Amino acid sequence: MNKKPVILAVDDDAQVLNAVDRDLRSEFRRDYRVLRAGSGREALETMRELRAREEPLALILADQRMPGMEGVELLSEARTIYPDAKRVLLTAYADTEAAIRAINNARLDHYLMKPWDPPQQLLYPTLHDLLAAWQSQYLPKYTGLRLIGFQWSPLSHEIKDFLSGYLVGFQWLDFETNAEAQELLTAKGLSSTDLPVVIFEDGTTISQPAKTDLAQRMGLTVTAKQELYDVVVIGAGPSGLAAAVYGASEGLRTLIIERQTFGGQAGTSSRIENYLGFPTGLSGAELAHRAWAQAVRLGAEILAPQEVVDLCVQDGYKVLTLTDGSKVRTRAVVLTTGVSYRTLDVPGMDRLSGAGVYYGAARTEARSCDQQDVYIVGGGNSAGQAAMYLATYARQVYIVIRGKSLAASMSAYLIEQIGNTPNIEILPFTEIAEVCGADHLEEVVLKTNGQFEKRPARALFVFIGAKPSTEWVCSTVICDNKGFVLTGRDLVTDPRYPAIWKHTREPYLLETCVPGVFSAGDSRAGAMARVASAVGEGSMAIKFVHQYLDE
């Protein structure tokens, strides 16, 4: 909630100050907070405190004849602290000439004669006019979470993505271009070396925060509450969230652990238009957070951001080790770790990653591309959705593909939309050969049919396929040569992996080589990379969990 603007009355005569305070409160207390000061020095100190608390000051009403600092001097100095506040001088008839000179020289807004009785005629009309003029130019300060950083800082980009991924509203302030950001940092006693800095609504700050620090301030849980769970779901993409919803709704003690943000790769999609039941489409973030809220309502416990680094079996129980060294015990596990974007191996990519070069949609950077040229590498649906979203802001969006067209890799509805968008251009038979820039992306080098061309670029978004996020678990469960988890019949029929399954019953459809450990979604071998398919597999996994627990 925005704080009421302040009216500050200043007079060294206690009787006069009481009268001013009484009349101001009587007329303006509904919309303004009235403060008082008994001297110019006290008034300046009050203004500095208000400034440090980022409270708005609408009007200063100061007496002219005060010992130590006259009213004109005070109002002139006040202009350096609150340049937009209206400044009114209270003066006796004998000081009228000085007051008029002050209006001209010190740029005061008005002077009022003492006494002002009745105030309905001699005080309120003038102040109402001045306050109306101030209100017409006043923009209430943003009172939510604010992030101050550098536009081309990878850490600033990570924090923006993290906050956006959890649908946390925030105001981004670029330190290099935003005067308010510099003022805020100074007021907090910080410098540019402390960036990025997060300022919370209560005024507290965190400099260069870790994600776990932000998570705790946001009310997220990073420590398991129970000693033993029926099922732990690792990964909160569509398949993991579906597993959590069904597990919790069917009475299982369910825990879901996510290392980044909800939704996985689908969560970064600006628009999913082929998901059943949403004819007008919905964003990946919206879908993920609906599922998250549903899982929590049904009783699932969620740890985020928290990462599992090891899985082992002890006395039939599955023991998960987290990055902080803590352990979680469970009877069954569902691996829904998803996939991560493959990196583009060309000169400059590592150096400029997070500073104009982004893997995935990076929706938080779209507005910074306003009326600029951006490039997208890849021809899948994720690339197409990103192109449509970026076209809203960018001057021109170029989709770089190695092949002739998008037909082999992108859904027809997206190809049609792209074809009808005038500021999207397909560059066929083209590759990115190099990315250039000092501290951020400035140019891309294109290679087309053996010819090289350097072009200016504000941003480059990379969608060149994905690899399963299974490195940490491949020593426990069997993965294929690309890292995808083998499940079900593949464990007993694939000639490349003889005698993997050592139990009398056949493995359940989504079960790995470790009984009670299941895999669903994009990280599973043979899975279809579609949101609906991932949701279906996550739901199915709970059916097999029940069968395993009933053995």
537 domain residue, yes or no: yes
User: Side chain identity at 45, as an amino acid letter?
Assistant: E
497 domain residue, yes or no: yes
223 domain residue, yes or no: no
Do 444 and 359 share a domain, yes or no? yes
In sequence order, what are the residues at sequence separation of 6 or more whose Cβ sits closer than 8 angstroms to the Cβ of residue 317? 228, 329, 330, 331
The reported pLDDT for the residue numbered 65 is 85
Q: What tens digit of pLDDT does each residue of 197-211 get?
A: 999 988 899 999 998
pLDDT of 1 over the 60 cut: no
Question: Of 343, 400, 388, 390, nearest to 363 (Cα)?
Answer: 390
Do 326 and 431 share a domain, yes or no? no
Do 336 and 471 share a domain, yes or no? yes
152: CATH: 3.40.30.10
Rounded distance, CA 533 to CA 550, Å? Answer: 26
Domain count, the chain: 4
Do 292 and 370 share a domain, yes or no? no
Strands in 40-97 per DSSP E: 57-63, 86-91
Do 407 and 491 share a domain, yes or no? no
- Choosing from 82, 106, 137, the residue where a domain stops is 137
- Choosing from 137, 164, 191, the residue where a domain stops is 137
| Mean local confidence (pLDDT), 447-467 | 93
pLDDT of 89 over the 60 cut: yes
406 domain residue, yes or no: yes
Give the SS3 label for residue 119: helix
Q: Which of 93-107, 114-128, 510-524 has the highest mean pLDDT?
A: 510-524
The reported pLDDT for the residue numbered 308 is 96
Write down the residue that tokens 């809203």 correspond to.
392
Q: What tens digit of pLDDT does each residue of 517-534 get?
A: 999 999 999 998 889 999
Do 409 and 498 share a domain, yes or no? no
| Token pair in block for residue 428 | 């066929």
The reported pLDDT for the residue numbered 93 is 61
User: Side chain identity at 24, as an amino acid letter?
Assistant: L
Question: Of 241, 223, 387, 373, nearest to 300 (Cα)?
Answer: 241
Q: 281's torsion region: left (phi>0), alpha (psi -120 to 50) or beta? A: left
387: CATH: 3.50.50.60
Do 431 and 413 share a domain, yes or no? yes
The pLDDT confidence band at residue 218, using thresholds 50, 70 and 90, is confident
Enumerate the β-bridge partners of residue 312: 319
Write down the residue that tokens 């993991």 correspond to.
240
The reported pLDDT for the residue numbered 499 is 66
Number of CB atoms found within 10 A of residue 66's CB: 21
DSSP-derived secondary structure letter, 193: G
Number of CB atoms found within 10 A of residue 419's CB: 11
Average pLDDT score, the chain: 90
Number of CB atoms found within 10 A of residue 464's CB: 18
Do 448 and 487 share a domain, yes or no? no
Rounded distance, CA 210 to CA 218, Å? Answer: 13
User: Which residue would you say has higher pLDDT here, 461 or 271?
Assistant: 461
Question: Which percentage of the chain shows pLDDT scores above 70?
Answer: 96
| Token pair in block for residue 253 | 């003690």
Task: Give the range of the structural domain holding residue 174, as residue numbers without chain letter.
Answer: 145-217
188 domain residue, yes or no: yes
SS3 readout for 269-303: CCCECCCCCCCCCECHHHHHHHHHHHHHHCCCEEE
| Mean local confidence (pLDDT), 56-65 | 92
Do 475 and 427 share a domain, yes or no? no
| Mean local confidence (pLDDT), 82-111 | 76
The pLDDT confidence band at residue 551, using thresholds 50, 70 and 90, is confident
- Choosing from 137, 164, 195, the residue where a domain stops is 137
The reported pLDDT for the residue numbered 104 is 65
Do 403 and 486 share a domain, yes or no? no
Q: How many residues does the chain have?
A: 551
Beta strands 373-377 and 357-359 are unpaired
pLDDT of 99 over the 80 cut: no
Give the SS3 label for residue 483: coil
The reported pLDDT for the residue numbered 95 is 63
The reported pLDDT for the residue numbered 466 is 83
User: Side chain identity at 363, as an amino acid letter?
Assistant: R
1 domain residue, yes or no: no
Q: What tens digit of pLDDT does each residue of 317-355 get?
A: 999 999 999 999 999 999 999 998 889 999 999 999 999
| Mean local confidence (pLDDT), 453-477 | 93
SS3 readout for 387-455: HHHHCCCCCEEEEECCCCCCCCCCCHHHHHHHHCCCCEEEECCEEEEEEECCCCCCEEEEEECCEEEEE
Q: What angle do CA 505, 507, 508 make, to 5 degrees?
A: 115
88: CATH: 3.40.50.2300
pLDDT of 494 over the 80 cut: no
The answer to whether the beta carbons of residues 350 and 439 sit under 8 Å apart is no
| Token pair in block for residue 407 | 């037909």
Q: Taking the alpha carbons of 22, 24, 27, 29 in that order, is the dihedral positive or negative?
A: negative
pLDDT of 375 over the 80 cut: yes
The reported pLDDT for the residue numbered 406 is 94
The pLDDT confidence band at residue 103, using thresholds 50, 70 and 90, is low
Do 241 and 328 share a domain, yes or no? yes
| Mean local confidence (pLDDT), 175-182 | 89
| Mean local confidence (pLDDT), 298-323 | 95
| Token pair in block for residue 234 | 């690792």
The reported pLDDT for the residue numbered 203 is 85
Kindly report which listed range (62-71, 276-285, 404-413, 425-434) carries the lowest average pLDDT score. 276-285
User: Which residue would you say has higher pLDDT here, 81 or 498?
Assistant: 81
pLDDT of 81 over the 70 cut: yes
Q: What tens digit of pLDDT does each residue of 376-394 get?
A: 999 998 899 999 999 999 9
User: Side chain identity at 291, as an amino acid letter?
Assistant: A
Q: What tens digit of pLDDT does each residue of 273-293 get?
A: 888 888 878 888 888 889 999
User: Which residue would you say has higher pLDDT here, 493 or 146?
Assistant: 146
451 domain residue, yes or no: yes
Rounded distance, CA 465 to CA 182, Å? Answer: 40
pLDDT of 115 over the 90 cut: no
Kindly report which listed range (140-144, 437-441, 515-519) carries the lowest average pLDDT score. 140-144
The pLDDT confidence band at residue 130, using thresholds 50, 70 and 90, is very high
The answer to whether the beta carbons of residues 184 and 148 sit under 8 Å apart is yes
Rounded distance, CA 104 to CA 139, Å? Answer: 27
The reported pLDDT for the residue numbered 267 is 76
Write down the residue that tokens 């105030």 correspond to.
119
Do 412 and 304 share a domain, yes or no? no
Question: Which percentage of the chain shows pLDDT scores above 90?
Answer: 64
209 domain residue, yes or no: yes
In sequence order, what are the residues at sequence separation of 6 or more whose Cβ sits closer than 8 angstroms to the Cβ of residue 333? 231, 232, 233, 234, 311, 318, 320, 516, 517, 518
